[in-house]
Each structure stands twice: as C-alpha cells, then as structure tokens.
Amino acid sequence: METRAKTVSKTPLLTGHSVEHKRAEIRAYFHQTFSLYESLFDCINSDQAYYLRAEPLRHPLIFYFGHTAVFFINKLLLGKYQTQRLNQRLESMFAIGVDEMSWDDLNSGHYDWPSVADTRAYRDQVRQVVDTLISEMPLTLPITQDSPAWIILMGIEHERIHLETSSVIMRMLPLEYLDAHPLWSACQDSGPAPENSLLSIPAGTVTLGKPATAHTYGWDNEYGQKTVTVGPFKVAKYLVCNGEFLSFVQAGGYQEPEWWSQEGQQWLAYTGATMPRFWQYRYGEYLQRNLLQEMPLPLDWPVEVNYLEAKAFCNWKARQTGTHVRLPTEAEWTVLRNQLDTDQPHWQTAPGNINLEHYASSCPVNRFEHNGISDVVGNVWQWTESPIDGFPGFEVHPLYDDFSTPTFDGRHNLFKGGSWISTGNEATRYARYAFRRHFFQHAGFRYLESNSAEVPVEPVNTYETDELVAQYLEFHYGDNYFDAPNYPKACVQTLLSHTSGLKRGRALDLGCSVGRASFELAIHFDHVDGIDFSARFIQHGFQLKETGHTRFAIPTEGELVEFKEVSLHQLGYGELADKIDFVQGDACNLKARFSGYDLVFCGNLIDRLYDPTLFLQQIHERLNAGGYLVLTSPYTWLEQYTPKEKWLGGIKVNGENVTTFDGLSAVLSQHFTLVAQQDVPFVIRETRRKFQHTLAEMTVWQLK
C-alpha cells in the first residue's frame, strides 16, 4: 500500500491565505496528475498497442495519450493566456475525441497518428509550458472562473477524467500488451455474493447543485440549484454484484426482449451481447477482465454494465418480485449521499473505494458500509434514471462551451458516486457525469423499490436551437439592443396608457409566440389566455409556466452560439403562472370558449394570418362591452403567410395605393373606434452583429 499512497491527491481549494502556497499547490497537483496519467500508460509494454482500436467507438490510446496535453494548449490559446502553438499538427489531431458517438455511428476516419516517442516529447514540452505559466500567471485568491488558474485546473481535472476513461479502454486491450505495475494493482479479495436487502428511506427534500460559493473547481453542469421533493422508497443495501446479476444472465435475461427498452433491444441486436462487457465465459467458467489482468468472476464485486443492461435487470427483478423496481433518480441518489457527511478534499481517508485510495480495481460490495448502505460512493459509478440537464442558473463556461450542452439532449444519463479511479473533481459529491446509455465505464448500479410505477424524472430542458424560435426567445426574454426597450413589455405599457377605463378581467394574447406579453399582461389582469398558431413557439411559454425556466442558443457568428437561460423568477413573473393558459390555436378560427375578454392584444400577428380580414370581422364577438382590441405590426406582408389577395394593404386596389392602416380602418370601423395610433420599435437579433430593427405601428380600437 506504500506505492498506492503516492497516487493519492486531492483537488485544491480555490481559497487560501498565501498566493505562493496556492501556486505551489497547483503546480504540485498539475505534475502529480500529469505523472499519474503517464504512469497509467506505462503499463503498456508495446508502442503497437497505442494504435489498436480495442473499442471501435473510441480513438486508439495514442489519441488519449496526446489529448490531455493538447487540451491545455488549446484552452490556453482560446483564453489568450498562450499566444503560440507548440505543434500545429499534433494540436489538431489530438483535439477532438469521439466519446459521444452512437454505436451505429462508427468513426471510419483514417488518422496518420504520430509516434509514441513524439507524443511523449510533446507532453514534455507541454509540461514545461504549463509549469512556467503556473509560475508566472497572475494569481489572486480565491480563484474564480475568469482567472488563468481556473484554466489550469480545468486542464488538470480534464486529464483526471481521461485517466478514468483511458483505464476503461485499457481494460479492452489484449492482456499481452499490458504489464503489471506497482501503482496499478488490483484488489485481491473476492468471495460469495452477499444477499442483498432493502432499506426504507423516508420522504424528504433535497437541494441539488453545487453552490457558486463552493471552494473547489467544478464543471459548468454542477452549478445552479434545484430543490426536489423525493417520495419514500426502499433501496438496495448493496450495489448489484456480479453474483446477483448472474441470476439474470442465467435466466436468459439477454435473450428476452421483454426486459429491454426499445433502445436496449436495438443495442442488443447491434452488439449481440449475452453478458456484461468485462465478463468472459471460457471453458465452463465466467471470468472478469480488470485493468491489467483477468480473474475468475468475483461474485461479490459490483457488476459493471451500461444503463440499458441495468434497466433490463430492474425490469426483470420487478417481475420476479411484483414490485416497482428501478434505478434511483439523481435526487434519490442524493438523499443517500446526504447521509455521508464528508467529501473530498476534506476527508482524511476516502469513505469508499474511490480516489485511488484503496485499490486499482473494484472490490467486494460489502467492504465499505455507512448507515447500513454500502458503496454510497466509490467502487463503481452508479447509473441513475435521470438524463443529465443543467440546473436552473446553469451557465456555460465561455472557454468550454461544449463540455455539457451537447449532452442536454435526453439521451445522456447521469451516473453518480465515482469509481475506484475517480479522483480530483470526480471524487466530489457534486460531480455529475453523463454518457449515452449504451456506454461502458467503470459503472454499475444500485436498485430501489418505489411505491409507484412512475419514474420521477422531468423532461430535459434542451437548448432551443431552431434559429427562428431562438431568435424570438431572445427577442422576448433576452437583452435589449440599440436602446429599443423590451418589445412585449413596451407594448403592454403603451396599450395600458391608451386604454382608459379598461377593465382588468380577462385578456387574450393572440399570436403570443413564446409568451412574454402574456406574462406581462398577467401582472395587470385576472386571467390571460396566450394563443399561438405554432406549437414550436408556444411550447416555450408553456414550459416557462410549468417549469419556470427555458433555454436557447443564439448565433454569435457563423455556427458559433451563445447559450441562454431565462427563468420566471428572474423576470419577476414568479407568482403569475397560475393566471395564464397557453393554448395552440388559430386566430382565424378561435374556439368558442375564447371570449368574454376586456382586452385582445395581437402583437405582430395581423401580417402573419392567412385571412386577416376574416379575423378582423369576427374579433369583436370576443370582447366584453367597452373592451379594447390592440394591434401591433410592421405590416410586413409576405406571400408565404398571407396570399396576396388577402393582404389588408400594401397593395393597389382599383389602381390606387392602399396602406395596411387604410385596410384595417375599413374593416374595423363598423364595430370599433380608433382611439390611438403609435409607433413601437423592436429589435430582433440575428447574430452578434446583425439585427432586424423594425418600427411596428400600434393601433388601439375600442368596441363601439
């Protein structure tokens, strides 16, 4: 265990009293990480092995050997902390991994990889550059996300992630290419599978998310805050061990589609899997492949499977027991984690098989127990039912804007708790990593029994990337440009100034788009209906009402984007959601129940209707006596929305120019009196530099 102790380190605190001590601590952490990473590759006894594609979904190990060094340089260049490339070719080849590929999306690229020696020489160069930078960089405490030390820590923690993922790939290399290594020795203990049992956990409330004030480095997806009410459940004492999982395998679990999700069945069909990835069955015996050697299947070690296999096991187990068996959600896992009141870097000794403090492999599932539950952290990662999502308040780090956001797609599930090789940030309570559900890591699972068949996960709040919808989200909820005030707010304020005696009962926001005016009207009215023709748009108003927040990505330049989040709370609409209904509907064919309004507001609607005259002829029926109709529009008629023969204006009629205002007046004058007419400007951002700047005309009409 003496050699093992050398590998132990802890992620530095961002705080401290001495800048130079902190500088020294960071330098030590950097070199320790760089060396530890290289020591893993030292297990490889032949350069040839660096180029094998043991796993067709991943690059060969040579990529990962170079990648963690290149990452430092590329991020330092992006942050302008470094001005020169060291090696243009290597810094391009080693830049982009393929971790996120689907199993049916094989990478068939040909790579002319550099030699191991060249790569090692490059690593040495980088080590020197980073060392110098650490020595010379400006440093104040505490370290914040915009300081150069944060980028150094980002590079270090990034390398610690790849320490783990590279070790997974090495578990797939033929053993002949690997030698034993004193730092990387596996646990030697194994025995019969312990009998699993269930512990009752009472209902409670947990708060998820790493506080902005936390004192350790975190990845963007860890921050923000979300409070979740968790119902009571019964949880398995042990992670599912190889022995427990073997029953499923021997019961023909891999051959029975019933236990597998549709995605699981597709994966089975593609891989032909019949047992976990690191098992083998040879000469009547099950074996397990560890990092550097094989052993007879250790029945009391945790099984290592992907989410799809874990879920299939649960479904099978549920049938066996007649109960609702499933994986924990992120919140349920957190309830268990909260029973453990220590965390890296504060613990003296790891409270589980984690941080390389105990083994360079898994160990029996009954080795580390706390409050009756084993392996709350460590041993293997624990899959959850929760697709990864940003917490409310999530913000992308500008120098790594694709670390998390591409995984907020509902197809990446979180696992929690860390494995024996999870170190640094990975070994902290807030660490959240997510992979596609078919991916293998040093990951297994614990199951629970729920009162209900329902799995309490929320749909993922994906980033709206539809360019038009995202434009409108920014238009309604984003920044102001060219001094034009927020348009939906300005419209509501302006219309209120022109509608004396307006009753504040029911309001209709027709053509509500992504909904800002509906919220704004709800400040003043008892009830607001927001109606839009397009589900693509109105879903965001609906989502804001239901979940309190929504997200979108807007172009900055070319294909580059900026990520944005809005929340009702920040907008000051926290208490208004119950006053609003968002409904998909057709302004020209409104359902009868949409009537009895004191106000009908149509923002930028009239020139997007397929029959504006029909709409205007009927709308008076929806208003209460003395009610107001308010229209705003830039009168941008387009044949894609409105056939030319239906345009209200902007046309020649009987040879004479007719403006839209003329046309509006002609149709509305029967039932309405015009009480105000005013320009209201608005700006829609297309890119960081290009905007639509428009002057809408507001006309205010009172029912005669």
Residues found near a second copy in the complex (CB under 8 A):
74-75, 77-78, 91-92, 95-96, 401-402, 482, 556-560, 634-637, 644, 647, 649-657, 659-660, 683, 687, 689-697
Q: What's the closest the beta carbon of residue 643 comes to a second copy, in angstroms? A: 12
- Whether residue 675 contacts residue 498, with contact meaning beta carbons closer than 8 Å, is answered with yes
Whole-angstrom Cα distance, residue 444 to residue 518? 47
* Cα separation, 685 vs 482, whole angstroms: 11
Pairwise CA distance, residues 631 & 601, whole Å: 6
* Shortest CB 656 distance to a second copy, Å: 5
Nearer to a second copy, 97 or 456 (CB): 97
Q: Are 563 and 405 in contact (CB under 8 A)?
A: yes
Sign of torsion over alpha carbons 153, 155, 156, 157:
positive
Q: Which is nearer to a second copy, 85 or 215 (CB)?
A: 85
Smaller CB separation from a second copy, 52 or 77: 77
Closer CB to a second copy, 213 or 654, in the complex: 654
Backbone angles phi, psi at 649, to 5 degrees: -165, -165
Q: Quote the least distance from Cβ 222 to a second copy, whole Å.
A: 21
Distance CA 216, CA 426 (A): 11
Nearest CB to a second copy, comparing residues 131 and 697: 697
Nearest Cα to Cα of residue 661 among 649, 653, 670: 649
- Among candidates 350, 309, 336, 304, which has minimal Cα distance to 444? 304
In the complex with a second copy, which residue's Cβ is closer, 241 or 470?
470
The secondary structure element, H or E, covering residue 583 is strand 580-584
103 in helix, strand or coil? Answer: coil
CA proximity to 393, closest of 202, 138, 150, 218: 218
Residue 680 near residue 632 (C-beta atoms within 8 A) = yes
Q: Shortest Cβ distance from residue 394 to a second copy (Å)?
A: 19
Residue 93: CB minimum distance to a second copy, A:
9
In 3D space, the residue among 578, 579, 555, 554 whose CA is nearest the CA of residue 566 turns out to be 554
Nearer to a second copy, 272 or 558 (CB): 558
| Shortest distance, position 556 Cβ to a second copy, whole Å | 8
Least separation in angstroms between residue 47's CB and a second copy is 25
Report the amino acid identity of residue 455. V
**CB nearer to a second copy: pick between 83 and 452:** 83
- The two structure tokens encoding residue 165: 């993922």
For 626, the 3-state DSSP assignment is strand
The Cα 255–Cα 62 span in angstroms is 37
Our CB check for a second copy shows the closer of 20 and 559 to be: 559
User: Considering the complex, what minimum distance in angstroms separates the CB of residue 224 from a second copy?
Assistant: 23
> Residue 280 in 3-state DSSP?
strand
Q: How far is the CB of 24 from a second copy (least distance, A)?
A: 29
